[in-house]
Amino acid sequence: MYDALNKLYDSKNAGRKLSQKNPLRNVLMGKSESIYDYLLKVYKIKDQLAAIGDVIYDAELVTTTLNGYPLLGTLLSKGSVLGRRSYQSF
C-alpha cells in the first residue's frame, strides 16, 4: 500500500512541477507593471516551485527574469551600450 501511495504521489508531484515551470518560463512584465511587482511575481512562482521540492538555480532565474522584461530587447537592438557590437575607443 505504501508503495502504491508513494508512486501516486511522485507522479502527481512530477506533473505539478512541470505545470508550475510553465508560468515561470512564460512570465512577462506587463506594460503598466512596476519592476517591483514583476520581480515579486517571478519570486512567487519560484517559491511555489520550492514548496514542492523543485529547485530553481540562480542562473535560470536570472535568464527567465530578463527574458520577460520587455525593455531588454529594445535596449539590445537600438544601439545602446548593451547592444553595441564594437565599443568606441578613445
Residue 89 lies inside a defined structural domain of this protein: no
Residue 12 lies inside a defined structural domain of this protein: no
Q: Which domain holds residue 50?
A: 30-69
Q: From the CB of residue 75, how many other CB atoms can be counted at a distance below 10 Å?
A: 13
pTM: 0.61
Angular region, 53: left φ>0, alpha ψ -120 to 50, beta rest: left
Residue 79 lies inside a defined structural domain of this protein: no
Q: Give me the numbers of helices (H) and strands (E) for the chain, helices first please.
A: 4, 0
Residue 59 to residues 54, 66, 80: CA-CA distances in angstroms? 15, 11, 24
Residue 86 lies inside a defined structural domain of this protein: no
Residue 61 lies inside a defined structural domain of this protein: yes
With CA atoms as reference, report the closest residue to 41 among 27, 55, 31: 27
**pLDDT, tens digit (0-9, with 9 covering 90-100), for 44-81:** 989 988 887 788 888 888 888 888 888 765 555 555 54
Residue 37 lies inside a defined structural domain of this protein: yes
**pLDDT, tens digit (0-9, with 9 covering 90-100), for 21-45:** 778 888 889 888 898 999 999 999 8
